[in-house]
Amino acid sequence: MFTAITRQISPRLNECELTHLDRQPIDLDLARAQHQQYEAALREAGCEVISLPAEAELPDAVFVEDVALVFDEVAIITRPGADSRKPEAESIARALSPYRTLCTIEAPGTLDGGDVLRVGKTVYIGLSSRSNRSAVEQTQKFLAPYGYTVKGVEVTGCLHLKSAVTQVNDDILLINPAWVDRSIFGTMKFIEVDEAEPSAANAVWIGDTVLYPSSFPETQRRLEEAGLHLKIVDATEVAKAEGAVTCCSLIFKKR
């Protein structure tokens, strides 16, 4: 039902871009073991996983979500906000080309896929240090023929919009309201992260399963109490690189 594109851990992950976190050592062996667990969880959730080889010279390349947006009708190759990440797009475009027609964000637009949240036919783009209004306008142009509305959203205190909010069910968003204004999302229901776990709003919703990191037990409890089916994965090492569970895959429906 779903395809998930992933990419293996770069041997230079310790040289990753950082914006809000202090640098700390990343255990590459543990990171690779956790990534294998993550890919296994995707398969268990119903995904055919296409695992691309590591990009040895690109530290952040495991975070494939940032370099493409995949919709049912079209895919958009982004232009990441960090210059070191722009070369990641070429191999992702090759991997996606058999599945979708490709559009490309052009300068002066910058866009990280981690700033993009699709809820039905509305696409929210975080206006962050990595994504700008030019990218919002270009994305609207690409998606308007298919009936989507694209909205720019202010985010504060975090790297990406999906650091602050992700969708976990048809009508439920998991949110840190300190980082994004919940009123933007209309009639959606909300589960708020525990105040002691500000980074706990990132989850991957696939069918009837939510992939969720093991590091946030109090927020995990809230999700379970809401009746959501969780698959818990360890993501401690990519978290040191300002990564999260959505960052490590591009998930889309087969057609």
Spans of all domains in the chain: 2-253
pLDDT confidence of residue 254: 83
> Smallest Cα–Cα separation from 113: which of 95, 88, 141?
88
pLDDT per residue as tens digits for the range 208-228: 999 999 999 999 999 999 999
Give dist(CA 50, CA 55) in Å, integer. Answer: 15
pLDDT confidence of residue 250: 98
pLDDT per residue as tens digits for the range 24-83: 999 999 999 999 999 999 999 999 999 999 999 999 999 999 999 999 999 999 999 999
153 DSSP β-pair partners: 126
Beta-carbon contacts of 252 under 8 Å, excluding residues fewer than 6 positions away, are: 2, 3, 70, 71, 72, 75, 99, 100
Pair 117, 166: CB distance under 8 Å: yes
Stretch 191-195: mean pLDDT, rounded? 98
pLDDT confidence of residue 255: 77
Which one is predicted more confidently, 203 or 255? 203
Give dist(CA 151, CA 56) in Å, integer. Answer: 35
pLDDT per residue as tens digits for the range 67-123: 999 999 999 999 999 999 999 999 999 999 999 999 999 999 999 999 999 999 999
Mean pLDDT, the chain, whole residue set? 97
Q: Could you confirm whether domain 2-253 is CATH 3.90.1150.10?
A: no
pLDDT confidence of residue 167: 98
Percent of the chain past pLDDT 90, that is, above it, reads 99
Read out DSSP for 122-133?
EEEEEESSS--H
Q: Which two tokens stand for residue 228?
A: 């959501």
Give dist(CA 131, CA 12) in Å, integer. Answer: 24
Q: DSSP letter at 182?
A: G
Catalytic residues: 160, 247
| Helix, strand, coil distribution of the chain in percent, nearest 5 | 30, 25, 45
Q: What is the pTM of this model?
A: 0.97
Read out DSSP for 40-69?
HHHHHTTEEEEEEPP-TT-TTTT-GGGGEE
pLDDT confidence of residue 144: 98
Pair 210, 191: CB distance under 8 Å: no
